[in-house]
Amino acid sequence: MKAEAFDYLVVGSGLAGLTFAIRASEHGRVAVLTKASITDSNTSWAQGGIAAAVGESDDWQLHEEDTLQAGGGVCDPAAVRKLVQEAPGAIEWLRSQGARFDSFLGREAGHSRNRIVHHADRTGWEIERAVSGAVRANPNIIVYENAFVTKLLLSDGRVCGLTSQIGEAGLRAFSARAVLLATGGAGKIYARTTNPRIATADGIGLAERVGATIRDMEFMQFHPTVLYHPQIGGFLITEALRGAGATLRNHRGQRFMYDYDPRLELAPRDVVARAIEAEIKHLATWCVYLDATHLDPDGLREEFPTIWSHLRAGGIEMEKEWIPVTPAQHYSCGGVETDLDGRSSVPGLYASGEVASSGVHGANRLASNSLLEAIVFSTAAAEAVRQEPQSDFEDVDYSQPKNVPENEAIRLRHALQNCMSQNLGVFRSNLGIAQADAFVSRLLAEHAELPTAPFSAYASEAYNLLVAARYVVQGARSRKTNVGLHYNADLVTLSRETEVEPAGPA
């Protein structure tokens, strides 16, 4: 089969993929392959905003300090410096693509200054609108929607193309000088996540099969305040609401963060998530509450229109009632290891955004640094790929992707999600990690023995989820100290936050 030739291929149409496409289109033809519609992405759901030291009392050194502090000593300092120094330029670039932002800066946990550039509480939607519009108008970029990338193609140890199952057209092959993976996160390995349905760790599965290095997957971020509601699953209540003054209360109405951390509700996400989980356990309840009833109702409605209307649809009036919340999986800090130019360990393969591990998040991502990471490292990658040799790869020997039957995929996915939620959540233990290790290995072995079936994106995703979960479990197993998002109750905590024991019931 003849492969369709481009200069660069992009897998995914969130902010990382589209930034790369726009930048690389300045010196080559680009194809973007995305498995659903162009705007189906984590990016579209981002609420809070993008961190950048653009305020009067701020500078990049402070942003750097906050990022390193959140990362618990595991960040790559060079990557962090690049991130924070290039942040103001990234905001300007977004504006040049048509993104509109509010005139004031928001505040989020772990930031020592107001530095969150935002568009009310739908910043991601506004950014995705702007960059997808710019991509559509660009004659050097072709977008394939409903194009599920099934495999990366190797030639002499280099990634030189990919195969994709494209809607009605079926399986097609593409060749290029370089491929950028921008497939987003892995939220769907857990039962409760803020991530949309596309977050199935496909990039981890694709990268693993060509031997790319994947690291730090145990640093799974759980957002502390996700709506706990029987009908509206996984809806995030942005940290910016706590930044605006909302407080956390337990079932008894007590402001329990006083018992955990002097930074109270604005302590880093890992600290707040652990405090909430501990409180829920102590009082044997299902959730805690976010209290915004003392804030100005007009301000709430204006600054948080998405949350306001979502909550009303669920029968909650946030200006009058407390919002029930619990932690839920939110962001994958680890991923495909990359250098400062987004290069993976396999020639020809680049990665950016949530699928990548650029080193900026370390053991815990600072709020609003991920949209920023996507722009900064995709911009660098778009420059670096110019050096990649021309691909002379034309004929592709491909085989139809192997799938398990969909009903089996459903079973595997749900079994995996239950196991990971129980054992690899906010709190972990030696026993839980060992049990998850055995269980995930068993699911992978079962998967290998199942009969094959016609292509199904859902079933392909199930395999990718299993692969990603194995990295999370193995990472947790080999991490011998508690740091950032990895908290194993059987280990001694050696990191910054010498844990304060949760107070017992008053």
Ligand X SMILES: Cc1cc2nc3c(=O)[nH]c(=O)nc-3n(C[C@H](O)[C@H](O)[C@H](O)COP(=O)(O)OP(=O)(O)OC[C@H]3O[C@@H](n4cnc5c(N)ncnc54)[C@H](O)[C@@H]3O)c2cc1C
What Cα–Cα distance (Å) separates residue 437 from each residue in 203, 327, 457, 470? 21, 23, 25, 7
> What would the two tokens of residue 234 be?
């996984």
Q: Of 149, 159, 382, 466, which lies in the binding site for ligand X, with binding defined by CB under 6 A?
A: 149
Residue with smaller CB distance to ligand X, 33 or 433: 33
117 binds ligand X (CB under 6 A): no
> What would the two tokens of residue 198 be?
């596309």
374 binds ligand X (CB under 6 A): yes
474 binds ligand X (CB under 6 A): no
Compute the least distance from the CB of residue 263 to ligand X, in Å: 19
354 binds ligand X (CB under 6 A): yes
Residues 36-55 touching ligand X, rule: CB under 6 A, are: 36, 40-43, 45-50
Compute the least distance from the CB of residue 13 to ligand X, in Å: 4
Compute the least distance from the CB of residue 165 to ligand X, in Å: 9
Compute the least distance from the CB of residue 259 to ligand X, in Å: 28
Compute the least distance from the CB of residue 12 to ligand X, in Å: 3
Q: Which parts of 219-351 fold into alpha helices (H)?
A: 239-243, 269-283, 297-303, 305-313
- Partners of 385 in the β-ladder: none
Q: How far apart are CA 392 and CA 378, in angstroms?
A: 25
Residue with smaller CB distance to ligand X, 63 or 432: 63
**Residues 211 and 158 sit within 8 Å (Cβ to Cβ):** no
152 binds ligand X (CB under 6 A): no
Compute the least distance from the CB of residue 110 to ligand X, in Å: 12
Instruction: Show the binding pattern over residues 412-431: x = contacts ligand X (CB under 6 A), - = does not.
Output: --------------------
What Cα–Cα distance (Å) separates residue 341 from each residue in 79, 128, 175, 375, 408? 10, 23, 21, 12, 40
Strands (E), 252-372: 288-291, 323-332, 335-337, 349-351, 356-357
Compute the least distance from the CB of residue 326 to ligand X, in Å: 15
Q: Of 163, 194, 225, 357, which lies in the binding site for ligand X, with binding defined by CB under 6 A?
A: 194
Q: How far apart are CA 156 and CA 111, in angstroms?
A: 46
Stretch that binds ligand X, among 28-36, 70-78, 297-305, 470-478 (CB under 6 A): 28-36
Q: Of 3, 13, 99, 303, which lies in the binding site for ligand X, with binding defined by CB under 6 A?
A: 13
* Size of interface with ligand X, in residues (CB under 6 A): 44
Q: How far apart are CA 84 and CA 412, in angstroms?
A: 41
368 binds ligand X (CB under 6 A): yes
Stretch that binds ligand X, among 95-103, 141-149, 392-400, 410-418 (CB under 6 A): 141-149
Q: Is 269 a catalytic residue?
A: yes
Helix (H, G, I), strand (E, B) or coil at 393: coil
Helix (H, G, I), strand (E, B) or coil at 237: coil
Name residues whose C-beta falls within 8 Å of residue 316's C-beta, 6 or more positions apart in sequence: 229, 323
Helix (H, G, I), strand (E, B) or coil at 248: strand
182 binds ligand X (CB under 6 A): yes
Task: Determine which one of 269, 365, 428, 470 is catalytic.
Answer: 269
> What would the two tokens of residue 22 be?
């726009």
Residues 297-336 touching ligand X, rule: CB under 6 A, are: 331
In angstroms, the first-to-last Cα distance of the chain is: 71
Stretch that binds ligand X, among 30-38, 92-100, 151-159, 402-410 (CB under 6 A): 30-38
Q: How far apart are CA 192 and CA 195, in angstroms?
A: 9
Q: How far apart are CA 2 and CA 23, in angstroms?
A: 27
11 binds ligand X (CB under 6 A): yes
**Residues 409 and 15 sit within 8 Å (Cβ to Cβ):** no
Q: How far apart are CA 247 and CA 250, in angstroms?
A: 10
Q: How far is CA 255 from the centre of its chain?
A: 30
Residues 384-413 touching ligand X, rule: CB under 6 A, are: none
Residue with smaller CB distance to ligand X, 174 or 256: 174
Residue with smaller CB distance to ligand X, 35 or 310: 35
Compute the least distance from the CB of residue 226 to ligand X, in Å: 9
Binding site for ligand X (CB under 6 A): 11-17, 33-36, 40-43, 45-50, 123-124, 147-149, 182-185, 194-195, 198, 202, 236, 331, 353-355, 368-371, 374
Residues tagged active-site:
269
